Homo-oligomer: A and B are copies of this chain.
Amino acid sequence: MQAEIITIGDEILIGQVVDTNSAFIGKALNNIGVSVYQITSVQDDKQHILKALAEAEENADIIIVTGGLGPTKDDITKHTICEYFNDTLVRNVSVTENIEKLWREHVKQPIQQVNLDQAFVPSTAKVLMNLVGSAPGMWIEKGDKVFISMPGVPFEMKALMEEEVLPRLTIKYKRPFIIHRTLLTYGMGESRLATKIEAWEDNLPKHIKLAYLPNLGKVRLRLSGKGFDEQVLIDEIEELIKVVLPLIEDVFVGFEEDGDIEVLIGKQLTKNNKTLAVVESCTGGKLAETFTEHPGASSFFKGGMITYATQTKIDILGVLEQTIKKYSVVSEEVAKEMAVQCRLLYKSDYAISTTGTAGPTKGDAEAEVGTVFIALATKEGVFCEKYELGNNRTRVINKAVNKALEQLQKEIFKN
């Protein structure tokens, strides 16, 4: 059972938009046992779309197309699919009603003809009702194969996948089970990890694959297995994990399927009835945002401060001016005072601080670009680590966030 994803839109090919839809769809299909054979991104061009549809039909059982269903003139997917199936467009009454309802209740503007025209669909298509947008999804069967077309707006595509596409695929096709277990590790490079677990990796059974996914101070190790007996597969993978865990216990922080590291930290804090606050200089809000993007953050996250200008560290946070004068603003001493003050102000159990130079220039600091101090204050005291994270601003910020999470995880899960 194989799928191909086709994403349509010049904006993807010229790099104006990152295609996040394919990753969402790939993950969702995997969860129901469908492998994605290929992802193909093509231009808003009729001949090219027709060619991509024909090639996908050869390779895959399920062809999922996103994009090009908007109301504007550059959107040609619907007409092209219609041509591919030698079909004609007919107005769908339910879609018309849905569009009228959306405009009445949400848009609250006069409805445009171009939006009403979105209710036209190929006559052989089953409509997948898009309750949150005007472009309907379409489901067209051809022999054993199915072609699915969805709008490219991520929010609308996701709702259609969850409400319509996945339930229908689950009924239509018999699928194997695909099980992924991903071990999150922090603080060791992929080559060293690979050497540590080499003997174990060499003895993996053929139907279970291992992949290394390194990224800015963390490496994810993904085990993937496929088979028709779900429980056997789960047990096999669990046994393999039991063998490898002792080899990497100093860098292992949890399983990605249980959540990202910040989610694991949040769950543990919530369970222990503890709270966290952050104070950020070089990471500029990114660390706070990493926690608050997830639901449930308010049960452990008290808040944070971004003391970007040096003077705000003194005026608002209460770092001593002489500490900054004596040690410079990027220093262990300032990082520690920041964390301690933050913990006091926010009345939190833990507080973590970042101060460093993300670059490209050094700003008020004496330290080189890429130097970052991260301090963690607890009721026992305050501990600081120093890092050299290179000279690329985005990487320095993201690595610093990962290092802060690593320090916090170690502290919160220690006993």
Contacts and interface: CB of A to CB of B under 8 A. Distances in A.
Size class of the A contact interface (CB-based, 8 Å): 35 or more
B297 A284 contact: yes
A99 B38 CA distance: 33
A302 B34 CA distance: 50
B14 A18 contact: no
A375 to B, nearest CB: 18
Given A212-B70, A292-B284, A295-B393, A15 B26 contact: yes
A305 B304 contact: yes
A22 B19 CA distance: 9
B23 A15 contact: yes
Interface stretch (A39-47, A239-247, A332-340): A39-47
Contact of A10 (B209, B214, B311): B209
Interface string A306-346: 11110110011000000000000000000000000000011
A71 B41 contact: no
Contact of A213 (B11, B42, B347): B11
Given A16-B27, A18-B18, A71-B191, A211 B11 contact: yes
A115 interface: yes
Contacts of A295: 359-361, 393
29 contacts: A10-B211, A11-B222, A13-B26, A13-B35, A14-B224, A15-B22, A15-B36, A19-B19, A19-B22, A38-B40, A38-B42, A39-B40, A44-B211, A72-B190, A72-B212, A73-B201, A153-B214, A155-B395, A278-B306, A285-B288, A285-B289, A288-B289, A293-B394, A298-B363, A301-B308, A303-B309, A304-B308, A312-B346, A316-B346
